[in-house]
Structure 1
């Protein structure tokens, strides 16, 4: 288990861009589980602050999965019509200053309740790839991780098992006052 990440404690989530610029902060996420290679957290109606200072509040409960060995993270959102997933292609996370931190690499995969999916922001990825000089090796790592993520989706593996999301959500509810 990672120090400071005991179940029930609150952490922030910080997303950065490749050039080191802060991209977005989620104010409060409850830790549900932390091991040496993953953190699972949950939040609901949490404040999110964008790099330009704008802020908004999430609309529904979300279970978040961060990994030290994979170049993606997964957010499962529990909505009226089922579980929707938003997957960020990103660096593996680091934990410091009571926050989970990662670099967001623009590519996103949106997975619908019926497990169909869409790859998003390929144009944004290409633009930032040019602007921030992503090295060729990084490009290959990220594309391999998109493939790995889509394999998980097709296999209903890890976060893509609806039953596991419902179990994590039940645990989250026990931490709410």
Structure 2
């Protein structure tokens, strides 16, 4: 189990084992058998193409040990935008939170509208990296589950859940600053 307040890395791979993207810092907010919740804020992100950038807004991220997706809730001035990655269930090996990214993404806007992204990339990588029929079915089923959750406002697709975790993060951050005084 990871401890609340613990700083961890996030590593996302592709099906062929190549590194896809890394986040240099995430703060653990909750870790249960059903879900791992972390927040990233001003974290350095490294892409497989060499591009490095820093996250601009806080994001509450939900990783699942038994679900084929993760959900990133980006807290922006105009509301919460959700970016959902179809990905393997996460694992934590003491080094980083790790998963395999399966290309398909769902972006949910503050007004509830949504967009399915990267279907062509999924088809190309599915062919090139030989995704099994089981993996393809899991990916599409997971995308449908995410769409249904977003439409119904099932947590974490609700402001109350995100607000709860963001306030928890702020209280941890204040405690960390006080301990440095």
Give TM class, smaller chain.
over 0.9
**1:31 partnered with 2:43:** no
> Equivalent of 2:6, from 6, 9, 17?
9
Across the aligned residues of Structure 1 and Structure 2, the Cα RMSD in angstroms comes to: 0.9
Is 2:177 the counterpart of 1:174?
no
Please report how far the alpha carbon of residue 69 of structure 1 lies from its aligned counterpart in structure 2 after TM superposition. Answer: 1.3
**96, 99, 122: which is aligned to 2:96?**
99
Indicate whether 1:68 and 2:68 are aligned.
Answer: no
Query: What's the offset of the Cα at 1:139?
Result: 0.7
Aligned to 2:77: 80
Which residue of structure 1 aligns with residue 151 of structure 2? 154
C-alpha distance after superposition, 1:86-105 (max 9, x if no partner): 00000000111331100000
What stretches of structure 2 of length at least 5 have no aligned partner? none
1:48 to 42, 45, 50: 45
Normalised by the size of structure 1, how large is the TM-score? 0.96
| Alpha-carbon separation, structure 1, partners of 2:150 and 2:49 | 33
Q: What is the total number of aligned residue pairs between the two structures?
A: 174
- Summarize deviations over 1:93-125 as a string: whole Å, max 9, x none: 011133110000010000000111100000011
Listed one character per residue, the Cα deviations across residues 49-78 of structure 1 (whole Å, up to 9, x for unaligned) are: 112332100010000000011100000000
TM-score, normalised relative to structure 2: 0.94
| 2:114 paired residue number | 117
Instruction: Report runs of 4+ in structure 1 exceeding 4 Å deviation.
Output: none
1:102–1:140 CA distance, 2 compared to 1 (3 A):
same
Identify unmatched segments of 5+ residues in structure 1: none
